[in-house]
């Protein structure tokens, strides 16, 4: 599969799943732009994979997003592959899930994707080609306790994916989501440490509770998520749109 000549933008591209996706798309020949809030990880990953460049913005800031995409397009051409990977997860019992927490989760996980899609969709329509892939979560396909706001936001992101796929079905643009289960990233390792500290449990026990949800009994590797995104970004997946593909070892069927 070759993505030569395609400009790919990956939000949250400096670390974890985003960095793995960026590396996979770069290997496939795409001109890759990494977007995120922290300069250090962006520059480090960009150097490691030979990315075309980086742009810094917060996906919840609509004006900053538009400016970042404009700067990236000026340098590397219109974005034809958008990977909405930037996200955030906060946990709390529902009784302590107030509207502020809900708005934070919707802001990053849903509105951030909307801002980025608005920035690229006109150009994709004009070109007659586009790939939009949102990194959602199995939390967009099922419920988990203590993350009701996060689940609501990820379910909304998948609803957005399905609706936009229908609007763009005849335009050469595909719109899909990938839904990882618990993945071996710094974010999950931090969650394990936080739960252990809050509950007094051993980290190994907490980690085992995370892997228990996966019928394969393990965490997903970021590269496995990246492989799914790479396929969706290519010509071979041109008939695949409106899908939410679980990468979770059989956790969701």
Structure tokens at 66: 């538009």
- Catalytic residue of the set 150, 182, 210, 231: 150
Same domain flag for 43 and 141: yes
Residues 91 and 210 in one domain: no
Average pLDDT for residues 91-108, to the nearest whole number? Answer: 96
Residue 37: per-residue pLDDT: 95
Give the span between the Cα atoms of 37 and 32, in whole angstroms: 17
Does residue 195 carry a pLDDT above 90?
no
Q: How many domains does the chain have?
A: 2
Q: Which helix (H) or strand (E) holds 81?
A: strand 81-84
Indicate if the pLDDT at residue 1 is higher than 80. no
Contact 174, 160 (CB under 8 A): no
Q: Report pLDDT for 5.
A: 92
pLDDT of 225 strictly over 80:
yes
User: b/e for 89-100, b at 16 or more Cβ within 10 A?
Assistant: bebeeeeebeee
Is there a domain that residue 35 lies in?
A: yes
CATH number for the domain harbouring residue 171: 3.40.50.720
CB 182 within 8 Å of CB 219? yes
Say whether both 41 and 71 belong to one domain: yes
Q: Over range 63-68, report the average pLDDT.
A: 98
Whether 25 is in a domain gets the answer yes
**Would residue 123 count as lying in a domain?**
yes
Query: Please, which residues have CB within 8 angstroms of residue 178's CB and are 6 or more apart in sequence?
Result: 133, 134, 135, 136, 225, 228, 229, 232, 244, 245, 247
> Does the active-site annotation cover 150?
yes
Is 251 among the domain residues? Answer: no
Q: pLDDT digits over 123-155, tens only?
A: 999 999 999 999 999 999 999 988 999 999 999
Backbone angles phi, psi at 90, to 5 degrees: -125, 145
Query: Is residue 1 assigned to a domain?
Result: no
* pTM of this structure: 0.95
On the CB side of 99, CA atoms within 13 Å amount to 0
For residue 160, tell me if it sits in a domain: yes
> What percentage of the chain has pLDDT greater than the value 70?
100
In total, the chain counts a number of residues equal to 253
Does 71 share its domain with 150? yes
Chain centroid to CA 119: 16
DSSP secondary-structure letter at 225?
H
pLDDT the model gives residue 197: 85
String of DSSP letters for 180-211: E-SBSSHHHHHHHHHHHHHH---HHHHHHHHH
How does pLDDT run across 171-181, given as a tens digit for each residue? Answer: 999 999 999 99
Instruction: Domain of residue 74: give its range.
Output: 7-181+222-244
For 86-103, what is the mean pLDDT? 94
């Amino acid at each position: 599969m070759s993505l030569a000549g395609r400009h790919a933008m990956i939000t949250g591209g400096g670390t974890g799943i985003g960095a793995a996706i960026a590396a996979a798309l770069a290997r496939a020949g795409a001109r890759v732009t990494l977007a995120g809030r922290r300069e250090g990880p962006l520059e480090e990953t960009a150097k490691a994979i030979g990315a075309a460049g980086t742009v810094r913005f917060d996906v919840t800031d609509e004006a900053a997003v538009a400016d970042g995409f404009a700067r990236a397009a000026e340098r590397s051409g219109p974005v034809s592959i958008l990977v909405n990977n930037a996200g955030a997860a906060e946990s709390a019992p529902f009784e302590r899930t107030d509207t502020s927490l809900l708005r934070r989760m919707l802001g990053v996980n849903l509105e951030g994707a909307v801002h980025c899609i608005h920035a690229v969709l006109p150009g994709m329509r004009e070109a007659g080609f586009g790939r939009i892939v949102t990194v959602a979560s199995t939390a967009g396909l099922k419920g988990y306790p203590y993350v009701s706001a996060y689940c609501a936001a990820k379910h909304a992101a998948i609803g957005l994916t399905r609706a936009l796929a229908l609007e763009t079905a005849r335009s050469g643009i595909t719109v899909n989501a990938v839904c990882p289960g618990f993945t071996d990233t710094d974010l999950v390792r931090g969650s394990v440490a936080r739960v252990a500290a809050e509950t007094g449990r051993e980290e190994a026990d907490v980690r085992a509770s995370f892997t228990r949800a996966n019928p394969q009994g393990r965490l997903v590797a970021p590269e496995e998520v990246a492989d799914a995104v790479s396929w969706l970004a290519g010509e071979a997946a041109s008939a695949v749109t409106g899908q939410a593909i679980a990468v979770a070892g059989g956790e969701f069927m």
